[in-house]
Amino acid sequence: MDIDALLSLAATHRDYNDIEVTIPKEWSQGRTVYGGLSAAMLYASTKHYVEPDRLLRSMTTNFVGPLMSQTPFSITVEMVREGKNVSQLQARAVQDGKNAVVVQMCFAKARVSKSGVVNNEQHMLDAPKKGNFIPQVPKITPKFLKHFQLEVQSGGLPFTGKKDAKYYGWMRFKKPPAEITDAHIVSLIDAWPPTLLQQLRWPAPASTVSWNLEFIHPHRELLPTDWFAYKADTRQAADGYGHTEATIWDAHGEVIALSRQTVAVFD
């Protein structure tokens, strides 16, 4: 199943009744489902509960337990509060009676305001050529990566003993989707490996504990074949946990999202 089919499946959520879905093994990372996909599917299940003019402004995802591929799980959606301008919703992936992924989303409509700051931050990356990042190595490379193209311009392969703890480069879908929605952007941003893994010399598992995304609106139309620029830096790491911050630009060089993650490394 491609990304569009999975998001469409999640979007069948109606009337706040739980739906049951299963994600194929090809979207796994280790023993669990690729986190960017599970978060994107929870978003897709939630989006139609708010008016179209209320755009996703922020999304906080907590990966509280393993979500296994090839095993059914249910998606629940709750309207936490709906105000005049802002809607707050929560979605959960529940498997075998246990919470696996919990997402809090804030949707808000545009308002006339006298305040305004334009984000003119530039990435200064060379134009992308082709995906040239991680080879498919059995039992090491996550299966889900075959759905994405990553072009690294700064940072190294995981488990190569590098001093760096950052990734700068470009990303896009290997098979272009029908369109680029916020759900697609969510799934795309999480495709990069944790920045700390390149410092290790031997394979070791790592997982995101919490992930906060902030979406910048308005932005230009996004095309399915577009490359998106990505710069992620590690702000601090100790005690087996790292804190990273990332900025994402569209093909026109405009910032469209900000990302912050807390990652656990089990080395």
CA 258 to CA 214: how far, in whole Å? Answer: 5
For residues 265 and 267, what is the distance between their CA atoms, to the nearest angstrom?
Answer: 6
Percent of the chain with pLDDT over 70: 97
Is residue 256 a contact partner of residue 220, using CB atoms and an 8 Å limit? no
Given pLDDT bands bounded at 50, 70 and 90, which one contains residue 139? Answer: low
pLDDT at residue 119 in the model: 84
pLDDT confidence of 267, banded at 50, 70, 90?
A: confident
pLDDT tens-digit readout, 13-28: 989 999 999 999 999 9
Tens digits of per-residue pLDDT, 41-52?
A: 999 999 999 999
Report which DSSP code applies to 140: T
Segment 105-124, tens digit of pLDDT: 999 999 888 888 888 899 99
Give the pLDDT band of residue 70 (cuts 50, 70, 90).
Answer: very high
Rounded to whole angstroms, the Cα distance separating 92 from 95 reads: 10
Q: What is the pLDDT of residues 155-200, one digit of tens each?
A: 988 899 999 899 999 999 999 999 999 999 999 999 999 999 999 9
DSSP 8-state class, residue 33? E
Largest interatomic CA distance in the chain: 55
Contacts of 118 (CB under 8 A, 6+ apart): none
pLDDT at 135 over 70: no
What ranges do the domains of the chain cover? 3-110+126-265
Q: What is the mean pLDDT of residues 233-244?
A: 96
Of 263, 162, 161, residue with least CA distance to 206? 263
- Tell the burial category of 251 from Cβ atoms under 10 Å away from its Cβ (0-12, 13-18, 19+): middle
d(CA 43, CA 29): 20
* Closest to 232 in 3D by CA, of 252, 253, 256, 260: 260
- The reported pLDDT for the residue numbered 133 is 65
C-alpha span between 259 and 244 (Å, rounded): 8
* 45: nearest Cα among 2, 92, 83: 92
Rounded distance, CA 189 to CA 186, Å?
6
**Domain 3-110+126-265 CATH superfamily:** Acyl-CoA thioesterase, double hotdog domain (2.40.160.210)
